[in-house]
Amino acid sequence: MINLETPKKFRTFVEQANRVATEFLRANSRKYDLAEHAYPKELDMLAAVVDGMSDSGEGQGAGATGVRRSSDDGEGVRNGSNMSSVLSVIETCWGDVGLTLSMPRQGLGNSAIASVATDEQLQRFKGMWASMAITEPDCGSDSAAITTTAVKDGDEYVLNGEKIFVTSGDRSDAVVVWATLDKALGRAAIKSFVVPKSLPGIRVERLEHKLGIKSSDTATIVLDNCRVPAENLLGDPEVHADKGFAGVMQTFDNTRPLVAAMAVGCARAALDRTRELLEEAGVEIDYDRPILAQSAAAATFLQMEADWEAAQLLTLEAAWMADNRLPNSLEASMAKAKAGRVGNQITLRCVELAGTLGYGEDELLEKWARDSKILDIFEGTQQIQQLIVARRVLGLTSAELR
């Protein structure tokens, strides 16, 4: 049975993540929001600290690199790397979403590697900072429509295509590229490849200017006859038509709870600051009185807190299920859909409650409202998550419910 309290073995780790969020991330939040595309040098020292914690066994997995299905060791109910990653991401995104996404060796590509790589690949790619490239100019929410090709040529695959909106695409060491082995075979032929940036044929075409998460670089990447070693294909190289998209979609089952956790952390930051501002303004929030008996501001705040808690619990459930080797595709999409939507709604409503204070750059509320929007979009939009949930609940295939 899932325990809704923070597991005892993770409490010290979560406290450390909160200190990191306060002393490193929140402290530099506005600086790198205003200096778009500037590399946050402070994160290098922070990454060294995180690496040291992991090597010493003190860390339980910080961010994306810690995400992997736990092995069935006979211990029964457990909390593992998925839960610790979600808990740490909530804390760091309470500090800053963009800087969390900029953490060296904590890219979404690292989560993709952890999700589907073989044990040998895990060791070979250990310590690598990997971004993830899925979206294309003509392929967004429908990942099955990928047109980037991978053609086998001896001991290598030749990759050709263009990828857009690649988070940390400029700063990372490698890019996990989704490509098709054979367009005629549809979803089943889509595989993911670890493509080191040092290889000839891969280049960063441009960096995007964005509404939020400005401290995180978002790149367009072009693959032009890029030759990738065959052993860099993640997981099983064979095309299994009966499994369809299952192999690469395991990535989303692990990364969607992480993105939901980002939204939960960002929304909590907005709620915490808004509570302080309301209290300073003399607004009383009373948990023992009915909402109808309180001021409009207090009632609105209580409703937002209820939505936030629902998103948090869905996120923890999805991570817990992954740690306990339970199918969590439905729960991962539910968490992403709920947290992505209410996270953005909460941050925008907090700006409204704070009035002119919320809209100005003297407060971080306006920044959190901008940052939160991407969390409702990437790793599958709100509409796609609702579609996935509907298919799972109704027992319909993608062909039966579009």
* Mean per-residue pLDDT, 218-233: 98
Q: What is the pLDDT of residue 246?
A: 56
Question: Where does the pLDDT of residue 241 fall: very low under 50, low under 70, confident under 90, or very high at 90 and above?
Answer: low
What type of residue is 3?
N
Residue 67 clears pLDDT 60, i.e. is over it: no
Measured CA to CA, the distance from residue 385 to residue 402 in angstroms comes to 12
Q: What is the CATH number of domain 8-124?
A: 1.10.540
> Tokens for 64?
């994306």
Residues carrying CATH 1.10.540, the chain: 8-124
Q: What's the rounded mean pLDDT across residues 323-344?
A: 95
Which residue type occupies 103?
M
Q: What number is the average pLDDT over the span 300-320? A: 96
State pLDDT tens for residues 388-398.
Answer: 999 999 999 88
CATH fit for domain 246-394, picks 1.10.260.40, 1.10.1040.10, 1.20.1260.10, 1.20.140.10 = 1.20.140.10
**Who has greater pLDDT, 240 or 344?**
344
pLDDT tens digits, 256-302: 999 999 999 999 999 999 999 999 999 999 999 999 999 999 999 99
* C-alpha of 276 from chain center: 28
Residue 161: DSSP 8-state: E
Q: How far is the CA of 137 from the CAs of 130, 142, 326, 373, 383, in angstroms?
A: 21, 12, 35, 20, 19
Tell me how far CA of residue 157 lies from CA of 153, 237, 251, in angstroms. 6, 11, 21
Grade residue 3 by pLDDT with cuts at 50, 70 and 90. Answer: low
> What string of DSSP letters covers 186-223?
GGGGEEEEEEETTSTTEEEEEE---SS-TTS-EEEEEE
Q: What is the overall mean pLDDT for the chain?
A: 89
Give the per-residue pLDDT at 186: 82
pLDDT at 244: 52
* Every domain range in the chain assigned CATH 1.20.140.10: 246-394
Gap between the Cα atoms of 328 and 321, Å rounded: 6
Average pLDDT over residues 223-229: 98
Q: Where in the chain is the domain with CATH 2.40.110.10?
A: 130-232
Residue 59: pLDDT above 50?
Answer: no
Q: What is the pLDDT of residues 133-155, one digit of tens each?
A: 999 999 887 777 899 999 999 99
**Which of these is catalytic: 75, 366, 379, 400?**
379
Helix or strand (DSSP H, E) at 116: helix 108-116
Q: For the chain, how many residues are written?
A: 402
Farthest-apart Cα atoms in the chain, separation: 73
pLDDT for residue 140: 81
pLDDT of res. 66: 46
Predicted confidence at residue 51, as pLDDT, reads 67
Q: 240 falls in which pLDDT band (50, 70, 90)?
A: confident
Point out the least confidently predicted range of 182-191, 206-215, 245-254, 285-294: 245-254
For 294-346, give the DSSP string.
S-HHHHHHHHHHHHHHHHHHHHHHHHHHHHTT---HHHHHHHHHHHHHHHHHH
Q: What is the pLDDT of residue 247?
A: 56
pLDDT at 60: 46
Greater confidence (106 vs 68) lies with: 106
The answer to whether the beta carbons of residues 334 and 310 sit under 8 Å apart is no
DSSP summary character for residue 164: E
**pLDDT confidence bin for 76, thresholds 50/70/90:** low
Can you tell me the distance from the alpha carbon of 232 to that of 229, in angstroms, rounded to the nearest whole number?
6
The DSSP element (H or E) to which 391 belongs, if any, is helix 382-394
pLDDT of residue 71 exceeding 90: no
H/E element, 150: strand 149-153
Residues 33, 216: contact at Cβ < 8 Å?
A: no
Q: What percent of the chain has pLDDT over 70?
A: 90
150 beta partners: 159
Tokens of 305: 């807190």
Note if 36 is an active site residue: no
pTM equals: 0.92
Average pLDDT for 2-7:
73
> Is the domain 130-232 a CATH 2.40.110.10 member?
yes
What percentage of the chain carries pLDDT values higher than 90?
69
User: What pLDDT score does 236 carry?
Assistant: 83
Run of H or E including 179: strand 174-180
Closest of 112, 118, 117 to residue 168, by C-alpha: 112
Sequence-distant (≥ 6) Cβ neighbours of residue 87 within 8 angstroms = 6, 10, 13, 14, 17, 261
Read off the pLDDT of residues 8-30 as tens digits, 9 standing for 90 and up. 888 988 998 999 999 999 999 99
CA triple 297-302-307, angle to 5 deg: 125
pLDDT at res. 234: 92
User: Model confidence over 37-58: pLDDT tens digits?
Assistant: 999 998 988 887 766 655 544 4
